[in-house]
A and B are shown apart, each in its own frame.
Chain A
């Protein structure tokens, strides 16, 4: 059983995000990148499956700033192989381009199961999984929060808003968009990462020409404007609290 996990880096929201001069992209001057959280859950789910059965976990990511660190950390957590796809500019690729670059790599690896985070906060269209599945001709389930592998079958659990849980069986090979693993992504000690950094090679896999057709083009990026009905309370804490109490009393909730 070979499980491929696709991971990427997204802007870290600990820094203020700035919009660049062209008003259609983030200013990358101070941008700090962090592993996409649902991708971390995809990795955790894969590692849990590895612990339960004899699976090989292969982590893939597009080359770019911080990808080596992300991959080495994944290896330190227990991934068996770490591969970066090189030769395409990872920062500017849309999901369509990424899915097209991943397809031949996944076929070459002979993966039985592909898992990726269901979405990333820098695009929110959750398209890599479905697009990749479409290209591979494999089934795809998104928003998965639990995976069980038994024999040749794969049972997945999916949570709907409003408290409904669906369990379904998926034929392998398949692509899964992971929303959350059954447990939080594990901690990896710094000394373990340091060791793995010395002993592990990040495999490089050159990719072909980039084809990014099909994606929506961002025309403008701006901060949400303050709505007309919002008003800011002025003054220190006490004055603000007094005003708040008056507003709540007027609204009849106090």
Chain B
């Protein structure tokens, strides 16, 4: 006989509170004053039975069962807007909301769409359900410019963690290829792990699948350890966040830079390489996990400003006030579910703002944003001509370095 109640589910409210308190800064949940700014700023507050403030009140009233009895916590896209405005600095998104999702995942209460992404992540190491053997297929034709480390084992300056969407997604692989052109022009010695790379796991973690996150992280850690390199580079803010903030606790500790930081650090070299001006009004969208969570706001703007012809403009919500594209915390794999509950797409709001600001190009720096915003340009009024481009694509274009 086997016991299936191995993880002590369900908890009571007190145990649950204690488990939130164990997370970084989680003890602050006890000093919540119920001011409600978290619920006010939450983009999906109207579609939640328990927006953050009400959730904390319910837990204090020992109503954990009610909190776990509804599925609207899956509306949380981990955009961290709530945590950013909380005067008590409670880690609402990463601590509280994620803990609730973890309980639901442990109980098997997962929306079907999300389940598919999680199962694919378990089975294939990527949420897109693609063959792990094809993870480096995107470099076809660029083999001379990128070292595939499992094939050609040698020390490299930069280990490029490409990520799931950068490796497989038809649109986002264009960003990866553009970045190859940029890095080649900058004479950077880069290597990728190809089939030995696996999902960074950050979004699965924020979707409540902590065990899966750890499994994926450990596998990446073993792959990293097999090679000699100076630092890790990634164009994915979620991978950046995982490697920078989460992996060290698992004993996987490497210096990492996001490509916007890397390019900003090489600005003097970049300036000499730009040949074609990009005459356009460009609005930069701060990705939640680059900006709000990791405080990187100015580097991408410096790079954009340096491109000849670019007129950098700001949208109404920018920097720590940025709007979420809707892809975080599992949102990337919950489009149908979230539409059913809200009849609203967060990416539409952002694209509307870009149009209102008079932008001709919406510049992004996260792989989730390209497909989400491009989809919205097809339906948002006035957005027909709006181009969505990763910052690396604009740089490559101005350099004439798009492969």
Contact = CB atoms under 8 A, between A and B. Distances in A.
Contacts of A15: 131, 133
Those 10 A-B pairs whose CB atoms lie nearest each other, nearest first: A191-B211, A190-B211, A195-B6, A190-B212, A200-B2, A187-B110, A186-B108, A187-B115, A14-B131, A189-B105
A190 B118 CA distance: 10
Contacts of B7: 189, 191-192, 195
Interface stretch (A73-81, A89-97, A155-163): A73-81
Interface of A: 12, 14-15, 30, 34, 75-82, 184, 186-196, 199-200
6 contacts: A14-B131, A82-B2, A187-B108, A190-B211, A192-B7, A196-B4
Given A15-B133, A187-B115, A187-B119, A192 B124 contact: no
Contacts of A184: 112, 115
A14 B130 contact: yes
A14 B130 CA distance: 6
Given A189-B209, A191-B7, 14 more contacts: A14-B130, A76-B4, A78-B4, A80-B2, A81-B2, A186-B108, A187-B118, A189-B211, A190-B215, A192-B6, A194-B211, A196-B6, A199-B2, A199-B6
Contacts of A77: 4, 108
A194 B6 CA distance: 10
B380 interface: no
Nearest to B122: A190
A199 B3 contact: yes
B350 interface: no
A175 to B, nearest CB: 24
B210 interface: yes
Given A14-B131, A191-B210, A192-B7, A79 B108 contact: no
B312 interface: no
Contact of B1 (A34, A81, A187, A190): A81
Nearest to B212: A190
B171 interface: no
Nearest to B110: A187
A15 B2 CA distance: 34
Contacts of A191: 7, 106, 210-211
Interface string B1-16: 1111011000000000
A30 to B, nearest CB: 7
Q: Which of A186, A187, A188 has the most CB of B within 10 A?
A: A187
Contacts of A34: 123
Contacts, number: 63
Nearest to A193: B211
A185 to B, nearest CB: 9
Nearest to A186: B108
Contacts of B112: 184
Nearest to B4: A78
Contacts of B122: 190
Contact of B212 (A14, A30, A189): A189
Contacts of B371: none
Contacts of A188: 108
Contacts of A190: 122, 209, 211-212, 214-215
Given A75-B2, A75-B4, A78-B4, A192 B106 contact: yes
B129 interface: yes
Nearest to A201: B2
B209 A196 contact: no
Contacts of A195: 6-7
Contacts of B4: 75-78, 196
Contacts of B215: 190
A186 B118 CA distance: 12
A81 B2 CA distance: 6
Interface string B333-359: 000000000000000000000000000
Contacts of B129: 14
Contacts of A200: 2
Contacts of B211: 189-194
A192 B105 CA distance: 10
A188 B131 CA distance: 22
Nearest to B111: A187
Contacts of B123: 12, 34
A190 B106 CA distance: 9
Contacts of A75: 2, 4
A184 B131 CA distance: 23
A81 B1 CA distance: 6
Q: Which of A30, A75, A188, A195 has the most CB of B within 10 A?
A: A188
A73 to B, nearest CB: 9
A200 B112 CA distance: 28
A44 to B, nearest CB: 11
Contacts of A196: 2, 4, 6
A34 B124 CA distance: 11
Contacts of A199: 2-3, 6
Contacts of A81: 1-2
B112 to A, nearest CB: 5
A30 B1 contact: no
Q: Which of A80, A186, A191, A200 has the most CB of B within 10 A?
A: A191
A189 B210 CA distance: 9
Q: Which of A34, A82, A184, A192 has the most CB of B within 10 A?
A: A192
Contacts of B6: 192, 195-196, 199
A15 B124 CA distance: 10
